[in-house]
Chains A and B, each alone.
Chain A
Amino acid sequence: MSLKVKNLTFGYDERPVLKDVSFAVEENELLSILGPNGVGKSTLFRCILGLLQGYEGEITLHNRDIRKMGIREMAKHVAYIPQSHYTPFNYSVFEMVLMGTTVQVSAFSKPGKRQAGLAEAALERMGIADLKYRGYTQISGGERQLVLIARALVQEARMLILDEPTANLDYGNQIRVLSQIKTLAREGYTIVQSTHNPDQTFLFSDRVLALKDGRVFADGPPGQVYSEKLIKVLYGVDVEVQSLYGDQVRVSIPKGIVQTDYPRKKALLN
């Protein structure tokens, strides 16, 4: 599943949000989008998902313009995973996941045996099979996020779009959710996600797209893109970027708070 965004420009009420954004996502790629609040990450996602019309430029899936694709066809190719949220009605985890299979059944019918099997496999896959009959609103935020990923998996789309999947999750859940996402990419899913944590971007993505003022500021492998300058430009914070374990990890250390010229003791790092 390859996605191409060409010269995408979009604005709400004349106020431009996205300006001339172009990038491509190759099959099996895990792309992370970085950018400050309000830069247009969610707007970009809404365009890609076909939820916003009236943009300039072109978005293609497998070289087909998404404006020419119907709602059902889109859902068969792309699944959206929102931030872990509450629903007004408390569905069981199983029912919530089963809803993802709706695109496979006709308008007047409900998911059948095959779909129930898919839902169970997806719960198993995300390691939350024991939550099957719990209420979706009664489990933790991290668990809800995993449920939403399972729901996207049963949709059987090859491309997943995640809007800040780790927002509001504790540290452990962030790592667990991101690891699952990375595994999915290795299994052949094409994934686009947005995040606010540059360190995690470095750990958990194949490529990073940085947005600044509605434009693409940087696009490339995390090793090329992640720099002190990037953090300064995107977030206006002075940091020192430290590379660890032979550049497997990079961390940003904010200057001014941490005395970065202080001699480091190796023993403390271990």
Chain B
Amino acid sequence: MITKVVNKMKHTDKGAYIVMNLGILLLLAVFVSFQLGRYPISAKEVFGIVFSKVLPIEKYWADRPEFVFINIRLPRVLLACLVGCCLSTAGAAYQGVFQNPMAAPDILGASAGAAFGAALAILHHGSSTVITLSAFCFSLLTVAIVFFISKKAKGKAVIGLILAGIMVKSLFSAGTSFIKLVADPNDQLPAITFWLLGSLAGAKLSTVAFAVVPMGIGLIPLLLIRWRLNILTLGDDEAKTMGVNARLIRLIVIISATFVTAASVSVSGMIGWVGLVIPHLARKLVGNNYNSLMPASMLLGAIFLLVVDNFSRNLLTTEIPLGIITALVGAPFFICLMTRKGDVY
């Protein structure tokens, strides 16, 4: 009897326990990241600046660290967390909807569309706001096109979506390549190339404010319907006989995941691997049940991108684009996960 109870605790509370620990880890990572940078800010200063916003603390720090913290460090750290969280969540959600462990946030062309939108804006000398907006709109547009094409396709809805995604993605990639070809090789082409590599270098508080709305619109429903996402992985027919409206849930998940992906990519550029690798790491930690998997993916994604971004801005005197580091870290990491001994979880 006692062993039964302990056994039960071990399994049902395991997920919640790990998620809680990840939350603590994220807070620690954020606190450390606040201190790191070209202009180091001491732990004491960070502590004072953060808590002076909510508690009446006498100012014991200079103006300069506060300025750097509020205008540079804070938005950058927040954006790294948000983008990491979103890409990883979108990846986990798409994997469930498409019943496919290889699905990543760009499966429906959200990234390819964003890249095209950004390149187009750069070609027309758009400001950074215009570039972000254009990337965001084209990202949503691409997924909408994919969705409507798949509606016309016969057969399994999921396969139709994946195939339409591949086609439309390649169309937009061709468009991006063409823009690169006609872009001015002195300033536009490097700008496009740099954008495509992915970076959080331009993060401002206004960028965070822009991104956080669509991210919230997407993340909240994904968190709310996460249990039903489990049933979706069994396929439409089975889900329906179990009382779950598979088409409706899939639509909600796709719209939500697309919003968070579009918002992330439009502010950060192309950052690969996070959306594929992190959900799998989360699966290894808490299992495949979306009940714990979704929050675990969110937190792990945030931690991962925050750490990677710290390397990106501190390792060399010039910034290393994030996309390069995530690919460098992601691919070997994924191979390790794949070949690691142990249970399939």
Contacts and interface: CB of A to CB of B under 8 A. Distances in A.
Contacts of B240: 49-51, 71, 75
B288 A89 contact: yes
Given A46-B237, A110-B291, A88 B101 contact: yes
A107 B221 CA distance: 11
A62 to B, nearest CB: 17
Interface string B260-291: 00000000000000000000000100011101
Interface stretch (B181-189, B226-234, B331-339): B226-234
A51 B237 contact: yes
A79 B242 CA distance: 7
A91 interface: yes
Interface residues of A, number: 37
B319 interface: no
Interface string B205-230: 00000000000000000001111101
Interface centre among A71, A72, A116 (most CB of B within 10 A): A71
B52 interface: no
Nearest to B7: A133
Contacts of A51: 237, 240-241
Nearest to B99: A88
A51 B244 CA distance: 12
A197 interface: no
A92 B227 contact: no
Interface in B1-29: 7, 11-12
A82 B240 CA distance: 13
A74 B243 contact: yes
Contact of B289 (A76, A95, A108): A95
Contacts of A49: 237, 240-241
Interface in B281-308: 283, 287-289, 291
Contacts of B71: none
A103 B227 contact: no
A78 interface: yes
A135 B225 contact: no
Nearest to A103: B243
Contact of B241 (A79, A90, A108): A79
A116 B227 CA distance: 14
A90 B99 CA distance: 11
A177 to B, nearest CB: 18
A82 B283 CA distance: 26
A74 B227 CA distance: 20
B164 to A, nearest CB: 20
A111 B241 contact: no
A74 B288 CA distance: 28
A111 B227 contact: yes
Interface centre among B96, B99, B288 (most CB of A within 10 A): B288
Interface in A49-69: 49-51
B193 interface: no
B343 interface: yes
B242 A89 contact: no
B154 to A, nearest CB: 10
Contacts of A133: 7, 11
B343 A155 contact: no
Given A88-B233, A99-B231, A107-B225, A75 B243 contact: yes
A49 B238 CA distance: 10
Contacts of A78: 241
A49 B345 CA distance: 32
A133 to B, nearest CB: 6
A127 B101 CA distance: 32
B106 to A, nearest CB: 19
B242 A102 contact: yes
Interface in B96-111: 96, 99-101
A142 B224 CA distance: 35
A135 B343 contact: yes
A109 B12 CA distance: 16
The 7 A-B residue pairs with the shortest CB-CB distance, nearest first, are A75-B243, A103-B243, A80-B241, A110-B227, A89-B288, A108-B224, A90-B344
12 contacts: A50-B240, A71-B245, A78-B241, A79-B242, A87-B234, A90-B344, A92-B11, A102-B227, A102-B244, A105-B227, A107-B225, A133-B7
Interface of A: 46, 49-51, 71-72, 74-76, 78-80, 82, 87-92, 94-95, 99-100, 102-103, 105, 107-111, 116, 133, 135, 137-138, 155
Given A89-B288, A99-B230, A107-B224, 7 more contacts: A80-B237, A80-B242, A88-B100, A89-B101, A92-B289, A99-B231, A133-B11
